[in-house]
Structures are given as C-alpha cells and as structure tokens.
Structure 1
Amino acid sequence: MFTVVVIVLIVIGLATLLYTGRGRVQGSGGRGLKRRFGPEYDRAVALHNGDVRAAERELGERVKQHGSLQEQSLPPEVRAHYVTQWAAAQEQFVETPQKAVIEADALLAGLARDRGFPDGEQFEEQMAALSVHHGHFVQGYRDMHTAARDQSGTEEMREAMVEARGLFEALVIEQPATPDRPPPPAGRGHAPRAQSRRHAKESTT
C-alpha cells in the first residue's frame, strides 16, 4: 500500500512539472513566434479578430509543417540570372506596369521554388512556407501577387513591387535567414544588390 501511494505521488509530481514546463514553453513560444514571423504575426492576429491563441496555433502549425525545410543554395549563374531578370522587370514597369508586375511575381515564385520552397502554383502553401523562414518580407510578395491578378492602380502596383523586392533579396542571397537573425541586406553578402530602394522607386515611377 505504501508503495502504491509513493508511485501515485511521483506520478502527480511529474504531471505537475510537465504542466508547468508546458506553460513555460507556450509562453516563450509566443515570443518566439513574434520574433520569427514579425509583421506576419500581427497579420495573423488581425485575421483571427485579435484572438492571439488562435493566431499562434495557426502559426505554430506552419512551423511544424515547414520549419524543417532546408533552403537550397543557388549556383552563381542562376543567382545572376535572377538579379538580371528582376532589374529588367523594374525597368519594364515604366512602360507596362501590369506586365512587369506579372513577370516579377512569376520570377519570385520561381526563385522560391529553386531555393527549395513549394512550387508557386500552390501559392498559399508556398506563402505559408516562406512566412516561416522569411516572415518579415512576405507581405510584399502577397501584395504583388494580388496586384498581378487584379486591376490595381499604377501606384498600388509600384508600391507592391518595391516591397516585394525585400523577399527577392532575402532569397537571392546565399546565407539563409534564421528566426533570430534576419538576412543581411543584399550587397553585403555574395549576391549583388539589384538596386537601392531609392533607385527602384525612381525606376518605377
């Protein structure tokens, strides 16, 4: 009888420790999700009408599904090709904004695919995976994808294309981002910077 009581007490103690530890993990998980997803965290909370727990469950599922994805390196010639094509799309914007945005959207989808993310034909899945690894930059890509398919005004398309370049640069550099260390600006790593933000704005006006 004494042995049974001891076993019960041990089980209760372990259960208490597990529950406490789980609460700590969940608490730190919220901070970790904010750090990992950046603006995407706030967007998820807004989409869930301010329900932080629901938003964190959704983001946690994204991490479970895509967190183990390993970004693939790009051969130098492939990286150079993407940089050249992105610059060409920016230059084309002056004459044909809609066509330029469509081409830039397809270019980003292909670049993400070549880095190891889901194919762009499944946009929502690709976006979910990108948000786990580049949450600070995905909104620009989302806006550009919408602009490429809607009858958006020229200014909306220009802004979307400028913002989407953040993800482009994050993907075209060699070193992958981590939740604790956002990617360095392109131009400081091995990849050439496509254009500065100021020059990009001037080229899309």
Structure 2
Amino acid sequence: MSTVVIVIVIAVILIAVAAVLVRRPGKRAGHGSLKRRFGPEYDRVVARHDGDTKAAETELGERVKRHGSLQTRPLTAEQREQYVARWAGLQEQFVDSPRTAVADAEQLLAALAGDRGFPPADDREEQLSALSVHHPGQIDGYRTLHRSVRGEGGTEDLRTAMLEARALFGRLVATEAHDPERVRSREQTGPKTLLMRRHVKGSGA
C-alpha cells in the first residue's frame, strides 16, 4: 500500500513540474512578443521604469488593450495632397524660421493623427499611447519634435527633430491603397535639400 502512495506522490510531483515548464515558455513568449512589437519603444519604457520589465510590460500591455483594435480612417485624396503640401511648406519655412516651423510641424502631425482616427490632439498622452502601438518605430520622432519645441536647442537640434518626425508623417499620410514610397519620394524632394542648406549655412535658431 505504501508503494502505491509513493508512486502517486511521484506522479503528482512530475505533473506539477511539467505544468511549471509549460508555463515558463509562455511567459517568455509574451515578453518576446511585446519586445518585438514595440522595438525601441519597449526599451524606452523599461528605462523609464528604472529597468523594471514587469512594470514596463504591464504598461505596454495596457496600451495594446486600449488601442490595439483601433481601426484607422483613410485620408481622402484631397486631404492627403493638402497634408503633403503643408509639410513641404513647413520644411521650406524652416530655412527662415526653424523654431516656428518645428512648432507648426508638431501641430500638423497631431491634426493628421486625429484625421487618421487616433485620439485627438487635446488628449496628447492618449494620442501618443495609441500611436506607439501602431507606429512604435516612428513615435519617438514625434516626441523629439515636442521636446524641441519646448527646449532651448539650436538649429541643428531643430533640424534633427524635423527629419526624425518625417518618418511618422510618411506613415500617417500613406494608406493601404496609396504607395508609401511615392509619398516619401515626393515629400523628401526639395525640402530636405533646404533643411541641409540651412545646416550648411550654420545659422542660429
């Protein structure tokens, strides 16, 4: 009888060990999934939580719950053309008024995100949160733009902010039915040269 009990106890232990081993890969997969999904944004949030990956993943998981199912709205052809023209104009404006151009670029991106179906500009934190779920690789350019508007950086810092924010602009202004490469090509022609020319001249902000 005691032998039977021992066998049962051993069986229970083996089942418990197997259950633990099955759970562990699932946790790693969840961790890896968030890291793959958010990329640099994952590292930024972990750093903001002083290396606490559990807290960071809780925050990122909540973002996905709130905004993961968000369905973006396509732009009309007219809206798209207007946004592309306005962004090109801001890059030309940068030559003479870099800080004003950067401030206007931030407002333009906020309005564009709202038109695409993201939370409105007056709820900036939620807008950033939603954008980070759908465009994690480009969201930091938007933050750089925001910091530059409120910072004391010189022209080079402002130029970098415009260039980094352009990646998010390119993603937002494109749609599934529109070729993003064509948008990027048109948007980069001319204005980028103007931004570079400003840098070469070395003028202050």
| Residue of structure 2 in register with 1:65 after alignment | 66
SS for the counterpart of 2:58 is helix
Q: Contact 1:98–1:148 (CA<8 Å) still a contact in 2?
A: yes
Instruction: Supply the distance in 2 between the matched residues of 1:44 and 1:143 (Cα, whole angstroms).
Output: 15
Which is helix-richer, 1 or 2? Answer: 2
State the TM-score, normalized to the length of structure 2. Answer: 0.80
Whether 1:47 aligns to 2:53 is: no
SS for the counterpart of 2:89 is helix
CA displacement 1:144-200 (0-9 Å, x = unmatched): 012223333221111111100000001111029xxxxxxx98325x77641069636
| Residue of structure 1 in register with 2:187 after alignment | 194
Cα distance change on mapping 1:49 and 1:112 into 2, 3 Å: same
Identical-pair percentage: 49
| Residue of structure 2 in register with 1:181 after alignment | none
Q: Contact 2:91–2:192 (CA<8 Å) still a contact in 1?
A: no
| Residue of structure 2 in register with 1:110 after alignment | 111
SS for the counterpart of 2:180 is coil
State the TM-score, normalized to the length of structure 1. Answer: 0.80
Cα distance change on mapping 1:21 and 1:61 into 2, 3 Å: farther
Query: 1:25: how far off?
Result: 3.6
SS for the counterpart of 1:72 is coil
Unaligned runs of 5+ in 2: 1-14, 200-205
Q: Contact 1:113–1:120 (CA<8 Å) still a contact in 2?
A: yes
Q: How many residues are aligned here?
A: 185
Instruction: Supply the distance in 2 between the matched residues of 1:74 and 1:22 (Cα, whole angstroms).
Output: 44
SS for the counterpart of 1:194 is helix
SS for the counterpart of 1:78 is helix
Cα distance change on mapping 1:170 and 1:155 into 2, 3 Å: same
Cα distance change on mapping 1:116 and 1:20 into 2, 3 Å: farther
SS for the counterpart of 2:73 is coil
Instruction: Supply the distance in 2 between the matched residues of 1:191 and 1:175 (Cα, whole angstroms).
Output: 14
Computed over aligned residues only, the root mean square deviation of the Cα atoms, in angstroms, reads 2.8
Unaligned runs of 5+ in 1: 1-12, 177-183
Cα distance change on mapping 1:45 and 1:63 into 2, 3 Å: same
Instruction: Supply the distance in 2 between the matched residues of 1:80 and 1:25 (Cα, whole angstroms).
Output: 46
Instruction: Supply the distance in 2 between the matched residues of 1:31 and 1:204 (Cα, whole angstroms).
Output: 42
